[in-house]
Every structure is written in C-alpha cells, then in structure tokens.
C-alpha cells in the first residue's frame, strides 16, 4: 500500500495551507445568540439558544436541551 500524496508544505512565511480557508467554521455572529457551542455530552455544535446548562461532574456545562437524543430526532424531522 502506498502512502497518500501530501498536499501541504510549510512555506517560507510559516503558513502550511494554501487552499484552506481562513477562520473558524464556528465563528460568532453579530450577536452571541447565533454563536455555537459544543454539547458536553454528545460533542455536537448547536446554537446557544438550543442548549441549557446542567451540573455535570460538579461544574455547570452546556448540554443539548431537553436532551441529545431528542435534539437529534427534532433536527432529523426538520430535514
């Protein structure tokens, strides 16, 4: 089996990617309501309005509201 071709290289200015777009796919919009966070339990990114805080392992963590399974089912029904 051959190794896949490497498509990146470190350039003279220190940048590695030429084709990768700059920035993050999880940017905050103009307001914090459109920002996303990852659920502490399932790890999926959701808008803050779809999350609640819950005490997990002694700390307040952001989790899907009402729960991860119900959120996945609701989003699947919309699509």
pLDDT in tens, 10-21: 777 776 666 666
User: Is the pLDDT higher at 33 or at 17?
Assistant: 17
User: Is the pLDDT higher at 53 or at 8?
Assistant: 53
User: Is the pLDDT higher at 72 or at 22?
Assistant: 72
User: What's the pTM value of the predicted model, to 2 decimals?
Assistant: 0.56
pLDDT over threshold 60, residue 33: no
What are the Cα distances from residue 72, in Å, to 11, 33, 42, 65, 66?
42, 20, 10, 11, 11
* pLDDT tier for residue 40 given thresholds of 50, 70 and 90: very high
Question: Any idea where the domains of the chain sit in the sequence?
Answer: 33-78
């Amino acid at each position: 089996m051959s190794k896949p071709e490497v498509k990146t290289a470190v350039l003279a200015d220190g940048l590695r990617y030429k084709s990768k777009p700059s920035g993050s796919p999880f940017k905050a919009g103009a307001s914090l309501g459109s920002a996303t966070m990852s659920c502490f339990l399932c790890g999926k990114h959701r808008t803050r309005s779809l999350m609640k805080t819950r005490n997990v392992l002694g700390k307040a963590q952001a989790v899907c509201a009402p729960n991860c399974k119900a959120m996945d089912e609701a989003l699947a029904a919309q699509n």
